[in-house]
């Protein structure tokens, strides 16, 4: 026999200006044909079904949901949801708002027209449970914990909806995305020893294939792009009160003399001459 229950833990002091603020979280075993709505909320609310079945209606579309599914309710959207007569659902929920909430949902491929995610439930349920616990325990780090858990849930929902990731602005295809990833990897490794062989291994490609793909998408070979990044960064650092040795080390050159030769070959002047010229400019 089903024993209905419902628990809710509320954030003690939600900050309205935050990028993503959790308001409350809960857990409920519903009775047969338990109905919520029609109603309109002024915050986002997501339910993840633990077991049982039910329906969710939004924008005149009816969704039949089962264990492992998550459904999202958007602010200002008229909705209603109801548990099944024979197998009433048990679910956990998280309520949130924030200035970045809409953008996060859009990136994950979730909208009022596509409010259901089939997958990612394990992480979502864990997140809802931990958020409820942290609010209930009243620890002073509850706000950080709740935000972190919600982000992990978002990652799981996004991977379920868009395993290949969202479309890139101005770029299409896997090659463009992977070339961009390689470029960002090199930028992150700028101060250390970098080799294209290591880059290829960490990205899971053969060096020759990666080089061809990168050249096609970025217009230059990876090694040239890396050199460009280092020299552009060096120009910025040479405007600061750093020695040439410190600048060289900051852009991945343990040998200052080799850095100076490379810089001159790239820019046409030595680091010292470049510093003198730029400092003389008004």
Q: Which residues contact 68 (CB under 8 A, 6 or more apart)?
A: 48, 49, 118, 119, 121
**Do 156 and 177 share a domain, yes or no?**
no
**Do 156 and 183 share a domain, yes or no?**
no
Whether pLDDT at 18 is above 80: no
- Assess contact for 235 and 245: CB atoms under 8 A: no
* Number of domains the chain contains: 2
| Percentage, residues of the chain above pLDDT 70 | 94
The pair of structure tokens assigned to 277 is: 């010229």
**Do 59 and 35 share a domain, yes or no?**
yes
**Do 154 and 186 share a domain, yes or no?**
no
Please state whether beta strands 54-58 and 44-51 pair in parallel, antiparallel, or not at all (unpaired): unpaired
Q: Which of 161, 195, 212 is where one domain is finished? A: 161
Provide the pLDDT confidence category of residue 164 given band limits of 50, 70 and 90. Answer: confident
Mean pLDDT throughout 236-242?
88
DSSP letters spanning 208-252:
HHHHHHHHHHHSS-HHHHHHHHHHHHHHHHTTSS--HHHHHHHTT
Mean pLDDT throughout 245-261?
92
Mean pLDDT throughout 120-137?
92
Domain that holds residue 208: 173-280
250: left (phi over 0), alpha (psi -120 to 50) or beta: alpha
Q: Which one, of 126, 147, 150, lies nearest residue 14 by Cα?
A: 147
User: What angle do the packed helices 196-203 and 173-188 form, to 10 degrees?
Assistant: 130
**Do 76 and 187 share a domain, yes or no?**
no
Whether pLDDT at 136 is above 70: yes
Provide the pLDDT confidence category of residue 15 given band limits of 50, 70 and 90. Answer: low
Q: Which of 161, 185, 200 is where one domain is finished? A: 161
Residue 168 domain flag: no
**Do 39 and 146 share a domain, yes or no?**
yes
Q: DSSP 3-state assignment of 28?
A: strand
Distances (CA, A) of 75 to 46, 52, 211: 11, 26, 47
pLDDT digits (tens, 9 = 90+) for 225-234: 999 999 998 9
Beta strands in the chain (DSSP E): 5-10, 21-29, 35-39, 44-51, 54-58, 61-65, 69-73, 79-83, 90-97, 116-118
The pair of structure tokens assigned to 269 is: 């002047």
Q: Any idea what DSSP says for residue 274?
A: H
Whether pLDDT at 244 is above 90: yes
Q: Which of 113, 138, 161 is where one domain is finished? A: 161
Better pLDDT: 40 or 18: 40
Burial of 21 (0-12, 13-18, 19+ CB in 10 A): buried
The pair of structure tokens assigned to 192 is: 């250390």
Whether pLDDT at 181 is above 90: no
Whether pLDDT at 16 is above 70: no
- The Cα 277–Cα 225 span in angstroms is 25
**Do 11 and 90 share a domain, yes or no?**
yes
CATH code at position 97: 2.60.120.280
CATH code at position 181: 1.10.10.60
**Do 15 and 154 share a domain, yes or no?**
yes
Whole-model pTM: value is 0.67
pLDDT for the residue 161: 86
pLDDT digits (tens, 9 = 90+) for 1-13: 678 999 999 987 7
């Amino acid at each position: 026999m089903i024993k209905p229950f419902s628990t809710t833990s509320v954030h003690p002091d939600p900050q309205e200006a935050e990028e993503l603020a959790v308001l409350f979280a809960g857990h409920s075993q519903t009775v047969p044909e338990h109905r919520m709505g029609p109603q309109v909320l002024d915050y986002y609310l997501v339910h993840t079904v633990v077991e049982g079945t039910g329906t969710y209606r939004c924008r005149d579309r009816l969704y039949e949901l089962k264990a492992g599914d998550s459904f999202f309710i958007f602010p200002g959207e008229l909705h209603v949801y109801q548990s099944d007569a024979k197998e009433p659902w048990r679910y956990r929920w998280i309520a949130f708002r924030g200035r970045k909430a809409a953008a996060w949902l859009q990136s994950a491929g979730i909208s009022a027209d596509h409010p259901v995610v089939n997958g990612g439930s394990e992480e979502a349920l864990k997140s809802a449970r931990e958020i409820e616990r942290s609010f209930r325990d009243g620890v002073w780090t509850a706000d950080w914990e709740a935000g972190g858990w919600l982000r992990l849930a978002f990652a799981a929902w996004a991977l379920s909806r868009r395993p290949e990731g969202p479309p890139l602005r101005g770029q299409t295809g896997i090659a463009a995305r992977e070339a961009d990833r390689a470029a960002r990897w090199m930028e992150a490794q700028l101060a250390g020893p970098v080799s294209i062989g290591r880059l290829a291994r960490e990205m899971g490609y053969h060096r020759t294939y990666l080089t061809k793909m990168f050249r096609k998408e970025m217009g230059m070979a990876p090694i040239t792009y890396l050199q460009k990044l280092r020299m552009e960064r060096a120009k910025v650092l040479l405007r600061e009160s750093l020695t040439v040795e410190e600048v060289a080390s900051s852009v991945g050159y343990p040998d200052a003399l080799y850095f100076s030769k490379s810089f001159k070959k790239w820019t046409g002047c030595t680091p010292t001459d470049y510093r003198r010229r730029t400092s003389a400019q008004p």
